[in-house]
Amino acid sequence: MQDFANKRIVLGLTGGIACYKSAELVRRLVEHGAAVDVVMTEAATRFITPVTMQALSGRHVWLDAWDARPANNMAHIDLTRGADAILVAPASADFMAKLAHGMADDLLSTLCLARACPLLLAPAMNREMWGNPATQRNAAQLRQDGIVLLGPAAGDQACGEVGDGRMMEPLDLRTELAAYFQPKVLAGRRVLITAGPTCEPIDPVRVLSNRSSGKTGYALARAAREAGAQVTLVSGPTALPAPLGVRRIDVQTARQMHAAVMPLAAQSDLFIAVAAVADWHVSNASGQKVKKNAHPGGLPALEFAVNPDILAEVAALPGGPWCVGFAAETENLAAHAEDKRRRKGIALLVGNLAQDVMDADDTALVLFDAQGAHPLPPADKLSAARRLVAEIAARLPGRR
Ligand code: CTP
């Protein structure tokens, strides 16, 4: 999937050690289909050479407001017209101050002032510079002017200090830029999602679980957040990092998932149950490791109790959120899915074949609602999640 197919991005670099990360950033943007025009301030060229940026972008690098190459001699206008966004990464404290005051004394600041496209900044500076009241005043002014600030992140700094001011990592910046371009169909909605498997203990070292990777639920959490929602993800154990900007609550068992979900559900507009929740837990789980030969014939006698059906309970909440369920089936998808939708009392159920989804990167979803079955085209999980978010948003009732 190419997040920036047919997109032209102006990538501005100002003076800061984080310029070394911009080489990686340009590569990551190009990899996803972007045409990247790099514009560097004089200070930026002290940290990384234009040759590096030219080699990675495959395009001419712009340094000078007096560059005579454009036929009309107006690089400061031409570069922004037809650009889908300007991203300045790193954006130094000095550059932010200039922008906040509408100054335009070099090519990059002039481009920003003359732009007809969105402007995003990735601040990068020492923590004291970021915390300085002047920088904070400028940051607030820039936000008020409609400029998007990405980060800064916190952590180790090149100067040896630790704190806020690091430039966000290149992959995170790419993710944030891709999110910026997504339609905000869930703006302001509170979305609760369950994802991953649950693990039901047999004893302190053994569990009963399933092969859910969590990829679909995590992709949906990312897509919902990209669409402008405030997203909470209640997740069973997975190997996946939490998507940027998503609040994740980690649980192990179905009962823990139930306990985490119920209080949050009442405050949500939308609940999407993607988790592969175990239907049963071991009611006689041992407090100590079960020894192999402790039972006659070597077989432990496990007893089971039914887990709460989280989705059905949330769907039955008076004034509760709009609910979407998932069903991974190994056979008779349509019959099982429609039956499940009615049984759980939900308007929309998303079905797929289990053998296609467990740990796979691609998925083919079928939507089941009161009107029948609607297959979606097969796609990678993020594209499918974005499409699903659009389908959900189109069906979601107005604000409560
Ligand atoms: N679900 C849930 N809590 C459970 C079981 C399932 O919230 N205890 C949710 C899942 O997250 C999913 C939907 O219900 O959105 C369907 O899950 P599935 O396991 O397919 O349904 P079951 O009711 O368990 O039916 P069956 O095991 O017969 O397929």
Distance 172 CA to ligand 1 centre (A): 33
Compute the C-alpha angle 173/175/177, nearest 5°.
70
Residues with catalytic function: 159
Of all protein residues, whose CA lies closest to atom 6 belonging to ligand 1?
277
At the top level of CATH, the class of 190-395 is alpha beta
Task: Please list the residues that pair with 162 across neighbouring strands.
Answer: 156
**According to the model, what pLDDT value does residue 353 have?**
77
Q: Whose CA is nearest to atom 12 of ligand 1?
A: 326
Span 8-180: which CATH code? 3.40.50.1950
Nearest to 111 by CA among 145, 81, 71: 81
Give the count of beta carbons closer than 10 Å to the beta carbon of residue 387. Answer: 16
279 lines ligand 1 (CB under 6 A): yes
Regions in the chain scoring below 70 on pLDDT = 71-73, 75-76, 355-359, 399-400
Query: Does ligand 1 have an atom closer than 6 angstroms to the CB of 307?
Result: yes
Percent helix / strand / coil, the chain, rounded to 5: 35, 25, 40
* Ligand 1 center–CA 220 separation, angstroms: 18
- pLDDT at res. 293: 82
CB distance 340 to ligand 1 below 6 Å: yes
What is the atom index within ligand 1 of the atom nearest the CA of 326?
15
Distance 325 CA to ligand 1 centre (A): 8
Q: Where are the domains of the chain?
A: 8-180, 190-395
pLDDT of residue 157: 84
Span from the CA of 350 to the centroid of ligand 1 (angstroms): 12
SS3 114: coil
Same fold, 8-180 and 190-395: yes
Radius of gyration of the chain (CA): 25
Which DSSP letter does residue 298 get?
G
What pLDDT score does 71 carry? Answer: 65
Phi, psi torsion values for 209, nearest 5 degrees:
-145, -165
Q: What is the pLDDT of residues 232-278, one digit of tens each?
A: 999 999 999 999 999 999 999 999 999 999 999 999 999 999 999 99
